[in-house]
A and B are shown apart, each in its own frame.
Chain A
Amino acid sequence: MKTIFKYFITFTVVSSWLVSCGDVNSGKSSSQGALSTNAAEKVYVAPGEHDDYYAFISGGFSGQLAVYGLPSGRLFKVIPVFSVDAEKAWGFNEETKPMLNTSHGFIPWDDSHHPDISQTAGELDGRWVFINGNNTPRIAKIDLTTFETTEIIEVPNSAGNHSSSFVTENTEYVVAGTRFSVPFPQRDMPISEYKGNFKGALSFISVDPEDGRMDIKFQIMMPGFDYDLSHPGRGASHGWFFFSTYNTEEANSLLEVNASQNDKDFIAAINWKKIEEYVNNGGGKKVPANYAHNVYDEKTHTATSTMKKEVLVVDPTEVPGAVYFMPTPKSPHGCDVDPSGEYIVGSGKLAAELTVHSFSKMIKAIENEDFDGDAYGIPILSYESTLAGAVKNPGLGPLHTEFDGKGNAYTTFFISSEVVKWKLGTWEVLDRKKTFYSVGHLMIPGGNSRKPFGDYVVAMNKITKDRYLPTGPEVTQSAQLYDISGEKMELLLDFPTVGEPHYAAGIAADIVAKKSKKFFRLEENEHKHAVKSEAESKVVRNGNEVHIYMTMIRSHFAPDNIEGIQVGDKVYFHVTNLEQDYDVPHGISMIGANTSELLIMPGQTESFVWEAKQEGVWPFYCTDFCSALHQEMQGYIRVSPKGSNVPISFTLDGDPVDIE
């Protein structure tokens, strides 16, 4: 008892030391908040009741996107995007392998960073979530009727695809800005000759308003800086896109020192409407490229991968009036635009204050040609001419800002581990709350749109030590939920997350839930290997390939006895789930299969390959607990020696599968 008490005291002292190092004292003890308030009640969603918001929290190095409910923090689903996922056969089954194809071949992993939800007229429409793969540059689109990734496009001439994937206010474009500049075109050259020779591509990917189909409309070849984060304009600034930069020094080694030399880096302001017009009138240059465009078709339940060979490149100096630089102090990271579209917040990671630019002042400065020289032919606006104001002494290590739609902004501070609330226009700090610890992004549902839902903010932390039961050197990643409906923020909940919770997007549940798909209609299944009734199921030999066309329903496979397979055969299972009911998937796997199980949704078809390596009679079974007789959902495959005269046969209950 005594030891525990002592330990507790130590812990308390250590943690208050930890969180107080950045002058975060607001005069109130927020760490006691949960005990003295009704925080538990505010996050309690009773059994059978639903959360108010969906939160889509990226998995960072897990490569996936997870779906949580707010305010409960309950995890609903992990959507596979850029990483193979045995739970859903993503990247394992024949249908989804093409989704992970790139110009570098099959790449079963990426680093997923910034989800953003599609918008119509500046408001979230809940149709799609876009998310970037940072490492081998890609943008994925997730369909919110099925919560499945339905498209992935690779981004050529790019590297460290970090300043993405944010959407314009009618989802005209999703952007993919390169963090690392690279030689353009890629070639063998001395790294020391980086300066002036490397380029930073900002890619504008158009999104078809009907089916969401993505296409790289143009790439702007910018000077060789690092393009860190970005945000679209909205309202009056709709038509513009803003990208923060660092390494305007164009250093190529020890960037922690060499990219922090300049007093100011830039926020690049891009008039994409102007460039779009230029491109539509034949501007830009088509250059050779090689990148994959992968599309999953909901009717065929199958993805195809197409290699594209060309991309349209725009030299910004050839479109006068389209691109400007706004000086922003000390290696800005976050670049956030408020719901009105007037304020562009730049967070200099090493700066003592937050810099806020004004869009209207920026336009005036452009008209007045209020320039401070240029960089590679791109005009640099004078710092004072675009400055709206600055938040003084806000904290240490500012990163990201979101907005509540009520005139307030919330900024995270990595070094001082806090969220700070301040007022747009007066720039005064209104409130600050500790986070535990080293907070990166934060998210207010709808905070990237004209109409935020200003009830909650979710802080996503890089460090979690001592907040949860220890699990070895690695502790769970975590997010924290704050109530922001009142004047002061209130910490309501800690909840664990999968992978690094890099960034998130949130939306009111009723916008998405009502459009959610319950099952796939069998009559609409156009999979080339679908069989839509047991009578059509069959087994076909084609050389040393055997194709099994199988069906599943509670609680059997058809056929479930298969003979005539020979050692050395490549056996393809093409399995259709005949169920037409909500939430009745079945699974299938085969002993010795060098793949994952298949988890097949009602009305869907999926395939996997099993190689018959040994003689014998080998079982397969349903892997998803589907009914009271799930254990009975099984079957056998007989494997005979190579050249055997056992004929192909397939039966169910001893009969041919088509008996009436």
Chain B
Amino acid sequence: MKLKLVIVLVMALALASCGGEKPKKDVSGAEPATEKATEAVADADPMANKGIGPISSVTLGEIDQTLVAEGETVFKAKCTACHKISKKFVGPALKGVTQRRSPEWIMNMTLNPEEMIAKDPIAKQLLAEANGAPMANQNITEEEARALLEYFRSKN
């Protein structure tokens, strides 16, 4: 837990300084970083970003309804405390997420949130949008992450 706190602090520092500016003492901190992050990410195609983690490639076929159902079960048990499908909650709304992010990125974000929010530009931006509430590591397996992806595909 204390380690995690350190990680969050380090991330917060990294965020605050990633614009190359000296942190302003009287500014609320997160906002300038958000702008900078947005700029940096805006140029790149988010669908080309596969994220950082164990997943390097995913092959998608027709939507597999069995897998969708499994994904829904996992989602309800381990994700709904922070994500809704229809609206932004603690984290972003997940409707249409597979059109905004590559399947590899989605699975890596699920499986490897600590490293993603420390290093991946999109994840860093999302952390800022979530006011610094980091994505919790829910110890999801690769099979579960794949099922979640299928569930998200069904919610486009």
Contact = CB atoms under 8 A, between A and B. Distances in A.
Given A532-B77, A535-B76, A556-B90, A626 B1 contact: yes
Interface in A492-545: 519, 522-523, 532-535
Contacts of B47: none
B77 A519 contact: no
B40 interface: no
A581 interface: yes
Contacts of B118: none
B136 A534 contact: no
Given A523-B77, A556-B90, A660-B86, A580 B4 contact: no
Contacts of B85: 660
Interface stretch (B58-66, B99-107, B126-134): B126-134
Given A627-B5, A628-B12, A660-B85, A581 B136 contact: yes
A553 interface: yes
Interface string A628-660: 110000000000000000000000010000011
B96 to A, nearest CB: 15
B41 interface: no
A628 B8 contact: yes
A393 to B, nearest CB: 52
Contacts of A332: none
B12 to A, nearest CB: 7
A535 B87 CA distance: 15
A580 B81 contact: no
A628 B1 contact: no
A576 to B, nearest CB: 10
A580 B82 CA distance: 13
B90 A627 contact: no
Contacts of A522: 77-78
Contact of B80 (A534, A554, A555, A579): A534
Nearest to A626: B1
A628 B89 contact: no
B14 interface: no
Contacts, number: 71
A627 B134 contact: yes
A657 to B, nearest CB: 10
A627 B78 contact: no
Nearest to A551: B81
Contact of B133 (A532, A533, A554, A653): A554
B137 interface: yes
A247 B140 CA distance: 62
A554 B134 contact: yes
Contacts of B133: 554-555, 627-629
Contacts of B78: 522, 578, 580
A653 B136 CA distance: 19
A629 to B, nearest CB: 5
A627 B8 contact: yes
Q: Is the interface of B mostly helix, strand, loop or mixed?
A: loop
How many residues of A sit at the interface, in one of the four size bands?
Answer: 20 to 34
Nearest to B11: A628
Interface string B33-65: 000000000000000000000000000000000
Given A523-B77, A626-B1, A553 B12 contact: no
A625 B6 CA distance: 12
Interface in A581-599: 581, 583-585
Nearest to A552: B81
Contact of A554 (B136, B139, B140): B136
Contacts of A523: 77
A627 B4 contact: yes
Contacts of A660: 84-86
A519 B137 CA distance: 12
A311 B89 CA distance: 59
A270 interface: no
Interface in B101-156: 131-134, 136-140
A519 B139 contact: yes
B134 A581 contact: no
Interface string A562-582: 000000000000000011110
A578 B76 CA distance: 11
A581 B12 contact: no
29 contacts: A522-B77, A532-B77, A534-B80, A535-B76, A553-B81, A553-B136, A554-B134, A554-B136, A556-B81, A558-B81, A578-B78, A578-B81, A579-B136, A580-B137, A580-B139, A581-B138, A581-B139, A583-B1, A583-B3, A584-B1, A626-B1, A627-B134, A628-B9, A628-B12, A628-B133, A653-B89, A659-B84, A659-B86, A660-B85
